[in-house]
Structure 1
């Protein structure tokens, strides 16, 4: 069986399984912020990997996702207040666990990203913190686990941190030499450089280095416990998990990104 036939059968199986799920009880409010090839907006319409996945789930389950653009800084506030039914994409944090149910969709690994520097790079967050002149630029509100959050808090306190609203701002800060590096999942920055012609030349200069404290962890979405009842969460949990387990989400990532650009930063969930 060739790869195309196998992929088609997996997709058919996913659609058939998802179609068996009940409808959602009401339209779902899904605010989103632009994040490279994962989420973008054109003429007010949500585009990219995750909106595509949600539309396919909507077709199979007859759930309705009302996707609209908001600044990234507002996403967590809306979710905490029960004014957003989904938070997507998202990594796990204790604060989010308190108000939402996490659904893993993919595995990601954050890395140290620099632009063609020949200077030695830190191999760990601890080594980075120990260099008094090392400044980072990051996206405000991103989280890649406790070690990342702690390092960001320390750098902020030491005034060695630039925080931007999105990955485009991070790329521009790196290009201008305002910071030495950023830390994020490489596919986020790669996707941003791909879709913004002004920044695309930076792709050839991008250098990706692992950091000891930042390993692979699950990324996905949160379902609100404050705005969604158990029946709706169950319908969504099953349909979205099936989209990930079937390989459909991984297929969307590979179709969107340049060949060979995902291996160090993103991979499918492990097979049970």
Structure 2
């Protein structure tokens, strides 16, 4: 369904709510091709979704660029109305209400090496000297959070502020692998000319403990009242059901790059 089609569906679904009671604050950090910035001007499929939705339901979304680690803290303190994009995580349930948009699967990403890669988080942890690069503030579920906490205590976790930093850590050999969804990493390589040559070396492998999980956004329980949460919950759910969210991903990413890491909700 094209943007006009799902916009009309949104209008019908949310007619009783007549938009949001105030401007919705959405600080965002760059994430591959999904969220990008030219100065303070936002681009990518998630800002596009917000602009379309704002026009359809009468809500103003105020997007500002912030580092990912600060974004998490802003959401926890109630300074951010939305945490987007975000995977479902038990640690976030007290602060926000989760709305799924797509399904994602994180895996182990490495550059071509002769040594076989770990096939599970447990094997990764058990391999002495194997360092992992991650984006600070990312979460891909409880198993991921627990494994990264162990690696952190063992001083084997290289934490970067964004996916580009993770790519550079791999290129420099500061870490042997990284854990995230392949689409985020690939989107970063596409946008960064200096990192683009790494695409030919990239290897993506699943990790046993990290299956498919839901990703989307969190609506703040601290800053949004129930009326605005209801309006936004309905609108985002309709965008996912209509196929518009999946279409935006396919429009943004190179053909074939989403296979194995992102799929629409069932």
- Which whole-Å CA distance do the structure 1 matches of 2:63 and 2:26 have between them? 5
- How many corresponding residue pairs? 262
For residue 249 of structure 2, what is the aligned residue in structure 1?
Answer: 253
Q: Classify the secondary structure of the residue corresponding to 2:97.
A: strand
Q: Is 1:198 the equivalent of 2:190? A: no
Alignment of 1:61-100 (within 5 A): 61-100=57-96
Alignment of 1:66-215 (within 5 A): 66-215=62-211
Q: Classify the secondary structure of the residue corresponding to 1:56.
A: helix
Within the candidate set 255, 259, 262, 2:258 is matched to: 262
Aligned-CA RMSD value:
1.0
Which contiguous aligned blocks of 4+ residues in structure 1 show a shift greater than 4 angstroms? none
Q: Classify the secondary structure of the residue corresponding to 1:259.
A: coil
- Which whole-Å CA distance do the structure 1 matches of 2:231 and 2:6 have between them? 14
CA deviation vs aligned residue, 1:82-140 (integer Å, no higher than 9, x gap)? 11110000112223110111000000000000011131111101111111121111111
- Which whole-Å CA distance do the structure 2 matches of 1:151 and 1:215 have between them? 15
CA deviation vs aligned residue, 1:155-203 (integer Å, no higher than 9, x gap)? 1111111100000000001001111000001100000000111111111
Q: Is 1:28 the equivalent of 2:20? A: no
For residue 43 of structure 2, what is the aligned residue in structure 1?
Answer: 47
With normalisation by structure 1, the TM-score equals 0.94
With normalisation by structure 2, the TM-score equals 0.96
Shift of 1:12: 4.2
Shift of 1:43: 2.7
Within the candidate set 217, 221, 228, 2:217 is matched to: 221
Q: Structure 1: which 5+ runs fail to align? A: 1-6
For residue 18 of structure 1, what is the aligned residue in structure 2?
Answer: 10
Q: Structure 2: which 5+ runs fail to align? A: none
